[in-house]
Amino acid sequence: MLREIVLDTETTGTDAKGGDRLIEIGCVELINHIRTGKTFHRFVNPQRAVSEGAFAVHGLSDAFLSDKPLFADIVDAFLDFCGDARLVIHNAAFDVGFLNMEYARLKPSAPQPIALEEVVDTLTLARRRHPGAANNLDALCNRYGIDNTKRTKHGALLDAEILAEVYVELLGGKQTSLGLATVIADAVESDGMTSTVRGEDSVIASRTIRSRLTENESEHHTAFIGTLGENAIWRDYLGEKKAG
């Protein structure tokens, strides 16, 4: 079982080493690249002012954050949620830099810093797959047809939820979960054929394959088969017995 945590943060500014602080964390749990519905979300009092530039991005004001818990008060719950799961982050160096600076402030009981090389950076994945193209989160949503209409402002949990969808697409789309999913999908009834993919014991994906022939083409095809005669080998493939 592969457990991953898709993570996003919001901050007071862009300079973690210069004193900017983390103000929001959002996490989404994936098991074998499929969302489980489990999330982690906290706002944090940064004990410093939010810059005008950052406020324009996320809309989190000093007044709103003033009564929120300190990072020290939520870090244990955050670490418990993440456990030993692999982190998935867009532009990971930014978020990891802020998290590690927050960890360092917790001395002498600071958690181990996050090793950047152990994090899946979806920005790196996107640049490899789409070199030279825009690869911010909005651009990736547009490219993959992912609904981001609710993203009028940046928000850690919403962005983590969107990133979870983008991540699956970067891995090759939802077919990457075949053989991994445990969810049962019922076959769809239709006039066409139904193709069902099975895992070890359960149906894990199902889709309907509709005929691409027009009604006129189907009639011509039927007429053509009629010219082949009673003993045509073609009828074996139609499930018909030859005469004689």
Question: For the segment 81-117, what is each residue's pLDDT rounded down to a tens digit?
Answer: 999 999 999 999 999 999 999 999 998 889 999 999 9
Asked if 33 is an active-site residue, the reply is no
Which CB contacts under 8 angstroms, 24+ apart, belong to 113-116? 114/87, 116/92
Q: What is the pLDDT of residue 77?
A: 98
Q: Which positions ≥6 away from 64 have C-beta within 8 Å?
A: 43
* Domain CATH code at residue 85: 3.30.420.10
Catalytic residue among 33, 90, 154, 221: 154
- Residue pair 25/41 in contact by the 8 Å Cβ criterion: yes
> Domain range for residue 69?
3-177
- Residue pair 31/2 in contact by the 8 Å Cβ criterion: yes
Residue 240 lies in a domain: no
Lowest mean pLDDT among 90-94, 120-124, 145-149, 168-172: 145-149
* Residue 10 marked in a binding site: yes
Residue 105 lies in a domain: yes
- Residue pair 182/173 in contact by the 8 Å Cβ criterion: no
In the chain, the number of structural domains is 1
Is it the case that residue 178 has pLDDT exceeding 90?
no
* Residue 189 marked in a binding site: no
Residue 215 lies in a domain: no
The amino acid occupying position 118 is E
- Residue pair 144/166 in contact by the 8 Å Cβ criterion: yes
**Exposed (0-12), middle (13-18) or buried (19+): which is 16, by Cβ within 10 Å?**
buried
Comparing 187 with 244, which gets the higher pLDDT?
244
For the chain, the average pLDDT equals: 82
Residue 222 lies in a domain: no
Residue 217 lies in a domain: no
- Residue pair 116/96 in contact by the 8 Å Cβ criterion: yes
Is it the case that residue 217 has pLDDT exceeding 90?
no
Spatial distance between the Cα atoms of 168 and 31, rounded to a whole number of angstroms: 12
Look at residues 109, 86, 111 and name the one whose alpha carbon lies nearest to residue 100: 111
* Residue 33 marked in a binding site: no
Residue 212 lies in a domain: no
Residue 115 lies in a domain: yes
Q: What is the pLDDT of residue 228?
A: 67
Q: What is the pLDDT of residue 219?
A: 73
29 phi and psi, to 5 degrees? -85, 135
* Residue 58 marked in a binding site: yes
- Residue pair 64/87 in contact by the 8 Å Cβ criterion: no
Place 203 in a pLDDT band, splitting at 50, 70 and 90.
very low
For tokens 């011509």, name the residue.
220
Is it the case that residue 204 has pLDDT exceeding 50?
no
